[in-house]
Amino acid sequence: MAQSKSKSVLLLCGDFMEDYEAMVPFQALLAYGVSVDAVCPGKKAGDICRTAVHESLGHQTYSESRGHNFALNATFDEIDFDKYDGLVIPGGRAPEYLAINSSVQSLVRKFSESGKPIATVCHGQLILAAAGLVRGRKCTAYPPVGPVLAAAGASWIEPESLAACAIDGNLITAATYESHPQYIQLFVKALGGNVSGSDKKILFLCGDYMEDYEITVPFQSFQALGCHVDGVCPKKKAGDTCPTAIHDFEGDQTYSEKPGHNFTLTADFEGLDASSYDALVIPGGRAPEYLALNPQVIAIVKEFMEAKKPVASICHGQQILSAAGVLQGRKCTAYPAVKLNVELSGATWLEPDPIDRCFTDGNLVTGAAWPGHPQFISQLMTLLGIQVTF
């Protein structure tokens, strides 16, 4: 559950910003009760920014592939600076061209001069350097950005890992999206936020080609709250990875699929003590199709449902709930194409209209697709007794 006293944040976007670095803080903050406006120079509310998936795949630098399309919800030319309490700048390739935009530089300077929190990750710090805001300030970034920051007069902090963060007054900087849990936590604190009830353990049931956002957005959002979060997958152990799928609507009759990030598991599936966790989350994507056939997966789902512990499932994840026989008499939603599974399982179908609508029925939270993450995460927070107050 999130409680907010009109906190409002601006997210500065651009084409080919890093996919996670835009959507994870965007949806996490919304789930916590913060209003977030996403803007891009030269674009208006309803327009999209293309995103990039940046991944370390063993080459000398990161790879890039196409990410989700990110829908803006505000217009850059209509920004009312005074309404915002903080600024978030994603990384990726967008900062390279945003840094030479005089309107962007002016906007960022206003946030700096006002002392409002500024959080920037990866290559986003290029914008701070171009605006002349890093001289004498301690900051970190993706390592190749270090020489630029040093030349701009920053007190450069070499990241010990790609999950590193640094804070200097109102400035929060991070190395990559691996920093998100601490990065978002520091930003919430800078906004005056307090988190309670987060001493919880949450288990994510993962599989190959689960939807990219549907694993990482809730996973990192709950980590940022201070929860212990684990991801497991049958026949895999801690440190192994699951490839993910990017599902998006791009004008075809059904969703498109592109390769997503690789997700690193944090615990072993074999020998798992499911009873030690307070909640279960089931991402969607294509993974649930085959996970629903695994007797161990089915047993875990039944254990959580029989214990009446919170279970949150999104999109195609309800295929697993259906296979486990735990939907009889329940009310739930899912991705519309999964409606048949839900109804044949004896559940009452709740229409996801609009597509970001989520529902809670007792211990069960269900959502239709990743646009519903803010409600999905917030409703699970409520079941777990987690609060964010400002």
Query: Active-site residue numbers?
Result: 122-123, 315-316
Q: How far apart are CA 161 and CA 217, in angstroms?
A: 21
Tell me the three state secondary structure of residue 263. strand
Q: Give the full edge-to-edge strand order of the sheet including 311-314.
A: 228-232, 201-205, 279-282, 311-314, 364-367, 358-361
Cβ atoms within 10 Å, residue 381 = 29
Q: How far apart are CA 354 and CA 104, in angstroms?
A: 33
Residues 6+ apart with CB under 8 A from 125: 95, 134, 139, 141, 145, 148, 149, 173
What is the identity of the amino acid at 304?
A: F
Beta-bridge mates of residue 243: 262
CA 83, 88, 92 angle in degrees (round to 5)? 145
Beta-bridge mates of residue 8: 35
Q: How far apart are CA 234 and CA 84, in angstroms?
A: 44
**Which two tokens mark 38?**
């996403």
Beta-bridge mates of residue 257: 247
Q: Which residues of 20-45 are buried (b: 16+ CB within 10 A; e: fewer)?
A: bbbbbbbbbbbbbbbbbbbbbbebee
- Cβ(139)–Cβ(170) under 8 Å? no
The H-or-E segment that residue 293 falls in is: none
**Which two tokens mark 296?**
């161990």
CA distances (Å), 287 to each of 211, 231, 283, 365, in order? Answer: 8, 14, 8, 19
Tokens 């080459």, residue located: 59
